[in-house]
Structure 1
Amino acid sequence: MPLIVGEEERPPGFATVAPPTAALYKDPGRPEKGNYQVNGTNGTACLLASMGLQLTITFNSVSQNKTVQDVVNIQPNVTKHSGSCDPENATLRLSTDAEKTNLTFFFTLNTTSNKYHLSEVSLSAAWPDMKGDLDYLHGTLGYSYLCREEQTLNVDQNLSINIFQVQVQPFGLTKDQFGAAEECQLDEDDMLIPIIVGAALAGLVLIVLLAYLIGRKRSHAGYQTI
């Protein structure tokens, strides 16, 4: 499914990027979660990632003669992974031979604040790279980033990546294991809702109990001793 970004001259058979007013391909369902490890020069893990990945790509279909969106799951069992690390940068590259797809995540560490984040994503297949400046998946040096909820990374108007149940740590690993997790805001919001509901119910019970005690006290005060 070749694709070219931009308005440059295109060879026959290549699709062109079109506005995202597209018919959606059949949803392939929730992607399988894959586990990926990148080792440093000393042979120990310098990046760990566990996540399910789903790509949504908008393009102009030559065969259908209309703009479509293709939703593709990254399948861990047919995906090769590689990457590299240095003190301030780490990459995770996922490659599939069947679709000739290469998806690379670039992480950057701020050595002043000891915070890392996903700074760039590169996707290439039969079309040139599509890149965008990103600021997702924040974490602290020595800690892993954890998000159980589905997240959507909007890379480009023609590409978004859905990430499921992600845990990733590109720096500060110890003994090839994830560090303590820093949970994403989506997970924290999900945890906050039942706490708020529980607090509201407890407050309601307290109000009813106080009303009952006050009513009972007034009822006893209305009687005279003979």
Structure 2
Amino acid sequence: MTHRSRKQQLFLCFIALLAVTLRQSYAATDAPPTAAPPTPPTRPERGNYSVTNGNGTTCLMARMGLQINISVSSAALNKTVWKVQNLQPNLTRSSGSCDLESATLQLTDVPNKTNLTLVFSMNATTNKFHLSAVSLSAIWPDVKRPIAESNGSLDYLRGTAGRSYMCREEQTLAVTVNFSLNTFQLQVQPFNLTGAEFGTAEECQLDEDDMLIPIIVGAALAGLVLVVLVAYLIGRKRSHAGYQTI
């Protein structure tokens, strides 16, 4: 009776193993292939952009990498998706205008049919400037309708007239619920330029925090070394005192 039971058990194990093998083979051959996730774009290249006034002198300068993040309706996927696109300096031309209270930088990527406009405003009372408006218009392939996003009540990139605003770290500037702009290694001066050179840079909080972290870590390590050294000297002194007592 025991001999028959073992045979039955071996037969059942064989059937179970065969079923698992057939299931895996079926899944491998008949299951639809999974699509690879889209590769995000690389870090955008840093471009040099400028605006000249009526007499030919430079009134605005910007050096930065720009990345557009926007929610669009995809025709191919038939759903709303987030699209990320870098602005390519070699394909982008800059234009704009300047006056005492406002400076506009318009960036046009002709092959990709993209227009990005940045408006800086000056507060004559405080002698401070800031990025006050951003607008984007574009016609991209695989997007059901033309893109049009704007916001005229922003308060980013605050600086002092006659100086440039600098931020080496990546910043995300939320423009609308559907559109944000990432800046990389940014330096901009929209007012009171002297020649074609940036004024003294005022660094953003992100850069200051990035510099502060190594200082804090270094100070902590130095404090730890000091504590260990003091503990060692105290222990050594007690050890010598013990030998003298004996």
User: 1:25–1:57: structure 2 CA closer, same or farther, 3 Å change rule?
Assistant: farther
* Structure 1 unaligned spans of 5+: 1-23
Could you tell me how far apart the structure 2 residues matched to 1:211 and 1:73 are? Answer: 56
**Does residue 149 of structure 2 align to residue 130 of structure 1?**
yes
**Does residue 187 of structure 2 align to residue 167 of structure 1?**
yes
User: 1:225–1:80: structure 2 CA closer, same or farther, 3 Å change rule?
Assistant: closer
Pick aligned residue for 1:219 from 226, 230, 239: 239
Report matched runs for 1:54-133 at 5 Å: 54-126=67-139, 127=146, 129-132=148-151, 133=153
Could you tell me how far apart the structure 2 residues matched to 1:46 and 1:189 are? Answer: 31
Cα distance, 1:128 vs structure 2: 6.2
Corresponding position of 1:8: none
**Please, which moves more after superposition, 58-67 or 24-33?**
24-33
**Does residue 55 of structure 2 align to residue 42 of structure 1?**
yes
Could you tell me how far apart the structure 1 residues matched to 2:38 and 2:112 are? Answer: 17
Cα RMSD of the aligned pairs, angstroms, is 1.8
Report matched runs for 1:196-215 at 5 Å: 196-215=216-235
- Amino acid of the structure 2 residue aligned with 1:158: N
- Amino acid of the structure 2 residue aligned with 1:163: T
Cα distance, 1:221 vs structure 2: 2.7
2:155 aligned counterpart, secondary structure: strand
Could you tell me how far apart the structure 2 residues matched to 1:80 and 1:45 are? Answer: 15
**Does residue 147 of structure 2 align to residue 147 of structure 1?**
no
1:93 aligned counterpart, secondary structure: strand
Cα distance, 1:25 vs structure 2: 5.3
- Amino acid of the structure 1 residue aligned with 2:150: K
Report matched runs for 1:19-38 at 5 Å: 26-38=39-51
Cα distance, 1:218 vs structure 2: 2.2
**Does residue 202 of structure 2 align to residue 189 of structure 1?**
no
Cα distance, 1:145 vs structure 2: 0.8
1:215 aligned counterpart, secondary structure: helix
Q: Which has the larger radius of gyration?
A: 2
Identical amino acids, percent of aligned pairs: 66
Could you tell me how far apart the structure 1 residues matched to 2:180 and 2:147 are? Answer: 16
User: 1:225–1:185: structure 2 CA closer, same or farther, 3 Å change rule?
Assistant: closer
Corresponding position of 2:176: 156
- Amino acid of the structure 2 residue aligned with 1:164: F
- Amino acid of the structure 2 residue aligned with 1:71: V
TM-score under structure 1 normalisation? 0.84
Q: What whole-Å deviation, never above 9, does each CA across 1:171-224 have from its counterpart, x for those lacking one?
A: 121121001111111111111111000000000111111112222222333344
Contact 1:25 1:69 in 2 (8 A): no
Cα distance, 1:33 vs structure 2: 0.9
Could you tell me how far apart the structure 1 residues matched to 2:81 and 2:225 are? Answer: 54
Q: What whole-Å deviation, never above 9, does each CA across 1:111-165 have from its counterpart, x for those lacking one?
A: 1111111111011124364212211111111111111111111111111111111
Contact 1:118 1:136 in 2 (8 A): yes
1:204 aligned counterpart, secondary structure: helix
Could you tell me how far apart the structure 2 residues matched to 1:190 and 1:48 are? Answer: 25
Contact 1:26 1:71 in 2 (8 A): no
Number of equivalent positions: 203
Could you tell me how far apart the structure 2 residues matched to 1:25 and 1:220 are? Answer: 69
- Amino acid of the structure 1 residue aligned with 2:74: S
* Structure 2 unaligned spans of 5+: 1-36, 140-145
**Structure number having the greater helix percentage:** 2
- Amino acid of the structure 1 residue aligned with 2:199: G
TM-score under structure 2 normalisation? 0.77
**Structure number having the greater strand percentage:** 1
Could you tell me how far apart the structure 2 residues matched to 1:96 and 1:224 are? Answer: 84
1:187 aligned counterpart, secondary structure: helix
